[in-house]
Structure 1
Amino acid sequence: MTFNPGPVLQRSSALTHFFLAPNPGPMSLDGTHSYVLRGSPDASAVVVDPGPEDEAHLAALAGVGRVELILVTHRHADHTAGSARLHQLTGAPGRAADPAHCHGGGAPLAHGEAIRAAGLDITVLATPGHTSDSVCFHLPADGQYGSVLTGDTILGRGTTVLDYPDGTLGHYLASLDLLEALGPAAVLPAHGPVLPSLESAARDYRAHRQERLAQIRGALDRLGRDASVGDVADAVYADVGPSVRRAAELSVAAQLSYLRGGGSEGQAAPSGTVGY
């Protein structure tokens, strides 16, 4: 008989740990990271992205000590489905940019908001693009250069899908500019390994998007300017499997909208998921 130790709390940075949710898949990589933040070992905790509604996973999060606050990076169910239940288990208010994912009287998050909780200073950064409600959380005191919990805006492996039309490329590029300006902060993603430099990761993501745009421009030159999303996806993402075909088409739709709008769509933004 195989022994299952249950959820294991893993260190991700000086001030953060995480439980890996039991929801691996093509869009969630090894699973969702549900982060536990605290300024000192005896402080209360902030939980970021409770993850799926899995009772053992949520019980582990509730068991880390007093949970003071629950934060959510964006609306997708692999981040939010357990939020209401974790609020029930802990009594902690839940906060997100989308009021639909706020619980227990928690107010919607605002760009630039400074949160003081669990002995930590946390700055909210609106980073739309993956979704319209995506936010990141900056912990300036976490290590030499600080850290940023990036949700699905920047992943630890691969690149993220743009959930068009809710997420747009113009917004996403503006969000990458915002994150790059934070310099060599550690990247604490919702999926995949921790990355050493946010500045470097944001640059790599931007370069990837520019490469994809060049490929789509080439496909439009061959297929005609009015080519469908499906036809362009066939040309540019011919090597992707059926499990991520929809993600490829969403990213193509976002990029076509950006190109056909003259490259300015969504760029007034505040100043899931692999391989797109």
Structure 2
Amino acid sequence: MSENTPKSFQHAVVTGASTGIGEATVRKLRADGWTVVAVARRADRLAKLAEETGALAFAADVTKDDDVEALVRFVAEHGGLDTLINVAGGARGADRIVDAKDDDWDWMLQVNVMGTLKMTRAFLPALRAHGHGTVLNLTSTAALAAYEGGAGYNAAKFAQRAVTNALRLEEAENNIRVIEVVPGLVQTEEFALNRFSGDQAAAAKVYEGVENPLTAGDVAEVVGYAVGLPHHINLDEVVVRPVAQAANHKLIRKG
């Protein structure tokens, strides 16, 4: 850290912490010595994660105002925060627009966009008061290029990316750095399974033949690096893909 960075710059709130990249990020930050409040809806999984890592667990739905307000109070009572990491999100469905389902789109917009908004808005006063705050939003390469069957997820991630870019402009004068980590193909426990409503065969096809897709731990390493840098260094945007994915439209499958 630079000499101008407070030594307390190791207090993070991580959403989406019950699985995948969120869980891996909690584990990474705790291994690096951070104080972490792990946030997700599933209290049982959070309790196990807290027991294994020493993180503080708080069960909350980031799309619910009452839950977010309660979380803000909890964090204030447990030492405050310097860093907010918005990981909660996901995709539902792979329908083309002609077959788009309102419920899928509503869910994606709520959790990816409104959840990020509600969390960020709620914690900005504390981050400003700290003087060296960080917000890191996990988006997706779906925010960079649209694809067939992805319009709902594209729309949500494009919007989350827009929120991130506007936030960076608005909060620079408050010395808040805003980081966007943009993963490509990541093989996690639940992402594809949730997208295809629990269809194991459809979920498996997403990764079929792909040599070494990214793991949640890989992305967590990038997140940990980005937020662990001296505060005056801002990684505005980090796109991370497996070598087999040269671009959204070019994915090498073998066999």
For the superposition of Structure 1 and Structure 2, which TM-score range results when normalised by the shorter chain? 0.3 to 0.5
Larger RCO, structures 1/2 (Cα 8 Å, 6+ apart): 2
- Structure number with greater Rg is 1
Report the TM-score, using the length of structure 1 for normalisation: 0.34
